[in-house]
Chain A
Amino acid sequence: MGASAAIFGAGGLHKQAAPHRTTPARPGVKQPATLQRAGRASSSMEQRQRALLVARAWVLAMLGVFALLGVTALAKILWIGVVEPPAARQSLADALLPDRGEITDRRGVTLARDLTAYALWFNPAVMTDGGPPLVRPVAEVADELIAIFPDLERDEVIAVLSRRDHGAYLRRRILPEEANRVNALGEPALQVPQESDRHYPEGTLAAHVVGYVDRSGRGMLGMERARNSYLTDDATRGQPVALSIDVRVQGALEDELRRGMLSTNARGAAGIVLDVDSGEVLAMASLPDFDPNAVQADDVILPEARMQMGEMPRAFNRVTNQIYELGSTFKPLTIAAAIDAGVVTDLSRRWPARPLQMGSNTIRDSHDLGATLNVPETLIQSSNIVSAQIAGELGGARMRDYFARLGMAERPVIELAERGRPFNFGEDWSRTKAMYVGFGHDIAVTPLHLASAYAAMVNGGVWRPATLLRRAPGTPLPRGRRVFQPSTSARMNQLLRMVALYGTGANADAEGYRVGGKTGSAEKSGVTGPYRNLLVSTFAAAFPMDRPRYVVIAMLDEPQQTAASSFQRTAAWNSAPIVGRLIPRIGPQLGVVPDARRDIDITDLVPLVPGRH
């Protein structure tokens, strides 16, 4: 453009120069030869002179017009070439900036990104001659489209192609080859616009954590929703959001949960791996899951009839949104509160283990555990009766205070918007309420509540909020809230390890990883009261117990008795093995090296367990 402007500019200059030199009435400088001759012969022929004058005037006028044109053209060219700013365009930085920011895991693996994709759009307004928008008959074009996209419905395609009012999508996402084939049909009304599209390379992995966006590009679930403003803000969307999730850990967790769920015919499963010190969530899974690349209507909303059957939509996050009575997994928290408050000072003290009459209800154990139990035995054999008595001795007010400080009075603390409100926490706790809560009944919380509480119990006693955002290395830990003294925490680590060694958690004891944890099998209360045969079985674990670093929770919703669970329904046989298989898979990746010669020192407590010393 610059070169051609220069050529035109030179021509313009020439045109402009010519009239200026001819306009003054000074003949003979650069006039045509005929005019000069006419000038000399003017004295004799007046008429001729007048004619000449007229002719000269015409020439001048024409030259003036041309000069004006030339000047205008030159000015325009100069204006375009020198002055006018270039057409407003995207800078390279803008062009490379995604419409919506990327989401990655803690190591930089992409979980959600923008892609330029083709869509197939029918635009009836493209032909302006008033005739039909398609060149060929509608049916013929429809057949050719179906040859490219066999899953299109012929009637629907014909209906769309017959429209005259406004355009419509025939397909939202097509491949580049398909776009080429559509272009080859030669129909101007079939357009393949490039659109920015959200893509989730890991598919269903961590779908509940990452979430999805709707067609207008608004985050609808998970971190897409929670960080929507950050992901769309011009200033920040160039920087990816790094989640605390590790895809390897997430993959292993989902894999083991799915195996556990399928082998026990459970309705659903949930699991979480939490860093006990920083509160970072390394993995969070809720099954059944959904594919954020292709969200179906019934992933999000279910018909009333199916909800009545107890089914939840697949996009429902069971870890942060579903509340459960988590049962026996609360017993270690009760004991920790009692030790911390000084109610239990002697672990060898024996408590009566006969059924307790509580008004019209009776607190029982799953089977007769003997006449009396001490504290380690209570946890190892999971006695409801003794846990209730210890909670009763602690009293309602103190019990409530501990559980409130463990974060159970409010929705779980995490970035997600999908957080369930605990059920029946209440303001004033009677002694009876404390006794029921003591073994995990009469209160319903989310699995994330439990994970955060366990993290506080094993990490030295400080409760910290859970987070799904990666903590940059070197940044200080979030300010926590002290719940237990470090000595209480150390004692609980010993007790949890003993449960895994001698008690119901034996199936979770992965060799070398020093796992400690507690099972919980609670009856599910439905709309019509508790069903006897519907269970929620949970295993809450931490590892390695000599210096706890991670809490792992695995939960199965309504597991059945199958061969895989040795025809048992309790957590010891279905949830605990999930943790037992999971920890060896994730331990080395999380920096926990198995070592069979290392363990937490429990020698002072072993004599309290008969048959173990």
Chain B
Amino acid sequence: MTKQTRIRNSLWLAALGIVAALYLSLQYRVNAMHSAVEGAELEIAELQDRNNLLEAEFQVRSNQVRLGQINQLDLGLSAPGAGQFLDGERDLAMLGGPRADGAPEPIRVAGNVTGEDAPAFPDLAAREPEPAPVAETSRLTVVLADSRVRVALPSASEAAR
């Protein structure tokens, strides 16, 4: 066995050793990653479990029986009638059309705050000049119950003049 052969052999051995060491370290890394993935999966499963609990709680709180009670008792809702549905584009187009002859007056008062119970007149509107008593009777008053703003509209006959 010459010296060269020995050197070559030892080099080969060294190379083999390095490769083996690299392989081993890689394998350790792979296994370490495996267990990290495993841990993450475990965590996912745990979180999913908690998710399920929360989901179930939401489902219980929003169950149909409760919703029905809220709709009926708290909100006083009832099923819509046939007149509340529009059948297609034709109905929709007719919805905004002019009133036919003899149709009833549309309701223009959105609240019943008149007389003694009427809320205090807002400052902004109160500065407007008081209309004459005669004119007052011929005007329609629109009272928006929530915003407490009154808007006086001229009646149809007055507008014609």
Contact = CB atoms under 8 A, between A and B. Distances in A.
A511 B81 contact: yes
Contacts of B44: 92, 95-96
A3 interface: yes
Given A1-B32, A595-B82, A596-B83, A204 B49 contact: no
Given A511-B82, A588-B80, A595-B82, A251 B67 contact: yes
Contacts of A247: 64
A35 interface: no
A204 B65 contact: yes
Contacts of B60: 201, 203
B24 A248 contact: no
B83 A5 contact: no
Contact of A593 (B63, B65, B85): B85
A89 interface: yes
Nearest to A9: B24
B89 interface: no
B52 interface: yes
Contacts of B41: 91-92, 95
A81 B31 contact: yes
Interface in B75-92: 79-83, 85, 87
A202 B67 CA distance: 11
A471 B110 CA distance: 48
A2 interface: yes
Given A2-B31, A86-B35, A593-B87, A92 B45 contact: yes
Nearest to A113: B56
Contacts of B24: 6, 9, 78, 81-82
Contacts of B67: 251
B119 interface: no
Contacts of A90: 45
A5 B28 contact: yes
Contact of B32 (A2, A82, A113, A199): A2
A250 interface: yes
Interface in A452-495: none
A81 B32 CA distance: 9
Given A6-B28, A95-B45, A115 B59 contact: no
Given A201-B63, A251-B65, A1 B31 contact: yes
A219 B56 CA distance: 20
A110 B79 CA distance: 25
B27 A594 contact: no
A85 to B, nearest CB: 10
A6 B26 CA distance: 11
Contacts of A92: 41, 44-45
A594 B86 CA distance: 9
Nearest to A595: B87
B65 A1 contact: no
Contact of A594 (B56, B72, B81): B81
A534 interface: no
Contacts of B8: none
B66 to A, nearest CB: 9
B20 to A, nearest CB: 10
A295 to B, nearest CB: 17
Nearest to A116: B49
A90 B49 CA distance: 15
B53 A116 contact: yes
A421 interface: no
Contact of A115 (B29, B42, B53): B53
Contacts of A393: none
B138 interface: no
Contact of A250 (B25, B42, B64, B82): B64
B95 to A, nearest CB: 15
B68 interface: yes
A551 interface: no
B49 A255 contact: no
Contacts of A204: 65
B137 to A, nearest CB: 39
B99 interface: no
A3 B32 CA distance: 8
A252 interface: yes
Contacts of B56: 110, 113, 115, 199, 201
Nearest to A255: B68
A96 B60 CA distance: 21
Given A584-B79, A588-B80, A205 B63 contact: yes
Contacts of A511: 81-82
Contact of A205 (B29, B42, B64): B64
Interface in B102-132: none
B80 A205 contact: no
Contact of A251 (B42, B68, B81, B82): B68
B34 A86 contact: yes
A255 B81 CA distance: 19
B63 A203 contact: yes
A89 B68 contact: no
B136 interface: no
A501 to B, nearest CB: 15
A5 B82 CA distance: 78
A58 to B, nearest CB: 31
Given A1-B35, A251-B68, A202 B63 contact: yes
Contacts of A64: none
A547 interface: no
Given A2-B31, A86-B35, A115 B68 contact: no
A512 interface: yes
Nearest to A586: B79
B55 to A, nearest CB: 8
12 contacts: A2-B31, A3-B32, A78-B24, A81-B24, A82-B27, A95-B45, A109-B64, A114-B52, A248-B64, A251-B67, A513-B82, A594-B81
Given A202-B63, A511-B81, 4 more contacts: A86-B38, A114-B52, A251-B67, A596-B82
Q: 5 closest pairs, A vs B, by CB?
A: A512-B82, A201-B59, A2-B28, A2-B32, A594-B82
